[in-house]
């Protein structure tokens, strides 16, 4: 994740509908969701959801794949991780204050720590 990509990603996340989509797709997992289902959940028109999905795909935060008539969108976990990484990249130059809360959240994903899912 370089600065150019990060700028696009932050821009993508700075719009209500798009932030909602990303969070929905993160939760929905590798199975993803069809564009229509996303539109319904987000309560926006097909053409509008298409506009935002396209923007999110351009940012690399989500990916698409056709499945029969539907187009399935999934979160790109690697890109999201990269963005978090980018945001924290500088913080270790003497400022653990930023990393601290991140480390805290990350802790719940520790290999052995699966007991506290959700």
List helix spans (H) across the chain: 3-13, 16-28, 35-42, 46-59, 77-88, 96-107
Nearer to a copy of itself, 12 or 39 (CB): 12
- Does position 65 bind a copy of itself by CB under 8 A? no
Nearer to DNA, 40 or 107 (CB): 40
Q: How far is C-alpha 34 from the geometric centre of its chain's CA atoms?
A: 16
Question: Which of the stretches 34-42, 48-56, 65-73, 91-99 binds a copy of itself when contact is defined by CB under 8 A?
Answer: 91-99
**Among all chains, which residue has been given the structure tokens 């209500």?**
16
CA dist 100 and 112 (Å) reads 20
- Supply the minimum distance, in Å, between the C-beta of residue 91 and a copy of itself: 6
- Supply the minimum distance, in Å, between the C-beta of residue 90 and a copy of itself: 5
Nearer to a copy of itself, 26 or 34 (CB): 26
Residue list 79-118, contact with DNA (CB under 7 A): none
**Among all chains, which residue has been given the structure tokens 């696009």?**
8
Residue list 15-74, contact with DNA (CB under 7 A): 15, 17-18, 34-37, 39, 44-55, 64, 66, 68-71
CA dist 100 and 118 (Å) reads 21
Element containing residue 59 per DSSP (H, E): helix 46-59
């Amino acid at each position: 994740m370089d600065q150019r990509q990060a700028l696009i990603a932050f821009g993508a996340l700075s719009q209500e509908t798009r932030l909602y989509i990303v969070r929905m797709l993160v939760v929905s997992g590798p199975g993803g969701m069809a564009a229509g289902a996303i539109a319904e959940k987000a309560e926006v028109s097909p053409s509008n959801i298409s506009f935002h999905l396209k923007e999110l795909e351009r940012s690399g935060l989500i990916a698409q794949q056709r499945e029969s008539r539907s187009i399935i969108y999934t979160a790109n976990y690697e890109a999201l991780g990269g963005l978090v990484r980018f945001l924290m990249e500088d913080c270790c130059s003497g400022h653990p204050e930023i990393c601290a809360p991140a480390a805290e959240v990350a802790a719940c994903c520790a290999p052995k720590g699966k007991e506290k899912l959700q």
